[in-house]
Amino acid sequence: MAEMDYSKIAPGTFTAIEHLAPSGSNLPGAAKMLGMVASSAGSPKTLLFLRTHEHAEFSQMPAHGITINQNSGRIRTAICPIEKIGVLASHPGVKFIYPSVQLKPKMDRALKLINFPSFQVKTNLTGKGVIIGIVDSGIDGRHPMFDGRIEAVWDQTIPGITVAEGDYGHELTGHAISKARDENGHGTHVAGIAAGAHLQYQGVAPEAKLVIVKTDFQNAHIADGIRYIFRVAKSLGMPAVVNLSLGGHFDAHDGTDALSELINDVSGPGRLVCCAAGNEGDDDIHALTELRGHSPDAIQFRLQSNGNTPAEAVLNCWYGGSEPLELAIESPIGQVTPWFSADTSATGVETLYLAANRIIIDGRRDIANGDYQVLISILPSSIQLGTVWRLHLRNRSSANVKVHMWAMADEGNVTFRPPHAYDGFKIGSPGSASSAITVASITSRDSWTDITNTRRSSAMPLGAISPYSSPGPLRNGKLKPDLAAPGAFLISAMSAQSGANVDDSYKIDTYLRANAGTSMACPVITGLCGLLLQRDRMLDPYSARRLLTSAVSPMPGFDRRYGFGIIDAAAL
């Protein structure tokens, strides 16, 4: 590897490299989550976000096997062989390098609950002349709810006809759109809520055109997808709103991560982005403590196994202050690592061992917000059911320091324990973007009849915040989510390719299914934004937010779960 300027490398890049098997070909789950991709040429490559000087020029990078996907801009994406990261870091146009991380996918009664029929009668808006963009798991190109209205699909998961935003993936246009597939089904359902055409379960903007990005959920590819949608919309002379029913917890939870800042950069008049708040409302994925000057503390977390595989824990720690904290990990049997600090080594990375358990600690100060990030990966050597670990913290300064920590994976294999588990600050990227409209979920349906003619029901109270909906605010005190919309249980399009994987209890018929999540609430607001763009083609993100948060059911003030209230479309 070329000589490295470690000050330019965000935590996580070297964590992924440390995860690599000796052969370099077997990529464990954590390495894939951190943007490592196998290469037919042998050495794995890593997908990266770059914070650059806006007009920096990188024409020499292909000679090193490095692909930069954009020619300008202060946030760009790249694919780089791991041994060439030093070459990239040494380029004067590069300010900081972040690893790409894998995010997760997160209407009849619903629309009545928010008084949408009154709005529709009053305005006659249908989304005509507007692009609704969906970056998600794809779309069923033959589903009748979208017949003739899909303008383009960029499938980032297969090779083929590439696009200006990245030399990868396959673009489908014209008759080829009928070949678009969605094996997961999440994207098709989301698209149906925003813009599906159906007599009973109509989407919010049923005459809008659609531009779809089928993504692998790497956040750098999601950024490319947003750029793609806005470019296609511009070429068609249409305003656009992009739906992001996805998210993760690798970031600082303050809107300064690369994806959030990219959203801020590309949004503007006629270009809006809506994001899901997240589905971790009732999960103990966040811990909070405040260390007094020269004082210690210890945060406990439980590590579960994933079936027959030892559970991997990936913890994302952020704090401010003038100097780094000291950290140590204690295993369930009382073994403790040496103290680690972000300034104790030239690289800021340490690989430690407790018996056969491997622990990687990677930390340094972030250039965007000036705070410290420490990424802690624990790779147990054997199955350990419900074991309790401890993260010891020591403040060596005289000032108090507030420490936030998130479990990056959302499969429930890591949960924080009292007294530090904290029910707040659970909205991560991209919902933390300042220009994004971030949407929480309320319950609009508690029963439905499935495809077997069986009546199904949910215990979630109607009209109230859904228990899974992630609460704010952001770590820097900014107010998110912005508002709430129906997200449980919404009936919308079911992809034919995903039908075999959908339980009959959620199928309505061969074309429709019920689903719940802030992923479903987000496209309700995306569809409304499409209608507002039909009324005002130059509507900007901040004016759109002001309109929407002024048209909500009365609240005494900002609520960390509801935002500024439940949308009331009749007031728009």
Active site residues: 136, 186, 519
Phi, psi of 541 (to 5 degrees): -60, -40
Q: What is the DSSP letter of 527?
A: H
3-state SS, 85-112, equals HHHHHHCCCEEEEEECCECEECCHHHHH
Name the residue with tokens 């705070």: 371
Rounded CA separation 69/86 (Å): 18
Closest CA to 275 of 545, 460, 572, 555: 545
556: CB partners within 8 A, 6+ apart? none
**Residue 168: Cβ within 10 Å count:** 20
Residues 330 and 432: beta-carbon distance below 8 Å:
no
456: CB partners within 8 A, 6+ apart? 447, 448, 449, 450, 505, 506, 514
Rounded to the nearest angstrom, the gap between the alpha carbon of residue 548 and the centroid of all alpha carbons in its chain is 22
408-411: which pairs have CB atoms within 8 A and are 24 or more residues apart? 408/33, 408/101, 408/248, 408/249, 408/250, 408/314, 408/315, 408/316, 409/33, 409/312, 409/313, 409/314, 410/104, 410/248, 410/249, 410/279, 410/280, 410/283, 410/285, 411/306
For the residues of 272-327, what is the DSSP string, one character each? EEEEE--S-TTS--EEEEEEPTT-EEEEEEEE--BTTBPPPEEEEEEE-SSSPPEE
Rounded CA separation 530/118 (Å): 17
Residues 564 and 558: beta-carbon distance below 8 Å:
yes
Q: What residue type is 270 in one-letter code? A: G
Phi, psi of 433 (to 5 degrees): -60, 135
Rounded to the nearest angstrom, the gap between the alpha carbon of residue 413 and the centroid of all alpha carbons in its chain is 19
Q: In this structure, what token pair is assigned to residue 564?
A: 């500024």
Rounded CA separation 106/222 (Å): 14
For the residues of 153-168, what is the DSSP string, one character each? EEETTS-SS-BTTBS-
Closest CA to 48 of 211, 227, 218, 273: 218
Q: What is the DSSP letter of 200?
A: S
3-state helix, strand, coil in the chain (%, to 5): 20, 30, 50
113: CB partners within 8 A, 6+ apart? 442, 444, 463, 486
Rounded CA separation 100/218 (Å): 6
Sign of the four-CA dihedral 461, 464, 469, 471: negative
Bridge partners of 389, per DSSP, are 301
